[in-house]
Structure 1
Amino acid sequence: MKSKRVSESKITLVQQMLPQDTNPAGNVHGGVMLKLIDTAGGVCATRHVRANVVTASIDRLDFLEPVYVGDLVHVHTSVNYVGTKSMEVGVRVEAENLYTGECRHTATAYLTFVSLDETGRPQLVPQLIAETEDEKRRMQEAQERRKQRLAERKKEKAAQKN
């Protein structure tokens, strides 16, 4: 299986927020943003493996600023790390005010996707080639998050046995 560069699977999903996307407070609903994040992350993961993927977990999702009706949302994604059958995709969301040109960093998320074969079973994923210093840093940070996730799962399993 051929390794792939981070740049081969990066995507940016762009969508304007409309009135039907809002919550009762008048801001874009967090669930709408989560769907965009998951969709963009899934496309990025699919490009990396060129196969079906499923969301296994959302390691972290931070909403930093509100998104408003009319904003043009840019959802930037890249594969940060790959394991044997899964991969972490980092997502950065920015909202652009089309009238002023101001761009705001509005959300950040880390999602884990599992690659599936034709029968729906987990399959191997191509290794990742990190070329830039930023890509190497992101890969190192993702490895640390993976270690933390695995340690938490181990604690949860131990607690369930007791």
Structure 2
Amino acid sequence: MKRLSPAAFALAALVGAPCFAGDASGFDPAAIDQCLAEASTPGARADCAGTGIQACLDYAQEKYTGDDPDFPQANCLDASHQAWEAKLTSVYETALKAQAGPEAQEALRRTERSWIDFRDALCRHAGAAAGEGKAELARARCIRDETARQAALLLSLEGGT
């Protein structure tokens, strides 16, 4: 597993760089599709944001030998966020193509841009509220959770996974 120093990880997180994109983090993106499929069955309700995180944590805690106790969780939150970001991008592109005409497409684009601004402001607040030492983890968890919820919302509006 690629290891970054805590300082390098924090810097990458602050600038929004995908710290571990493509690594062997132990996070399985297929868990997202499985959870969303199960959540779409009649009568089912699920919050899939944390799907797959425990398997990743188990793997990361076994493999990581450094001295930063938050590193496995930060690694897994990043891997989970990257998977949700890819899912949201795919769902958004499908939704955009399904819009009837350029005005509807532009309305969806404006809505997504507004949602991104909202998510970022909400997650900055979540980080600040968590306090020193836990701010980055709180912010990362918030971004992952809100991205997952937006993907699920777009899926539900389109009526499918």
TM-score class, shorter-chain normalisation, is under 0.3
Structure with the larger strand share = 1
Q: TM-score, normalised by structure 2?
A: 0.26
Q: TM-score, normalised by structure 1?
A: 0.26
Structure with the larger helix share = 2
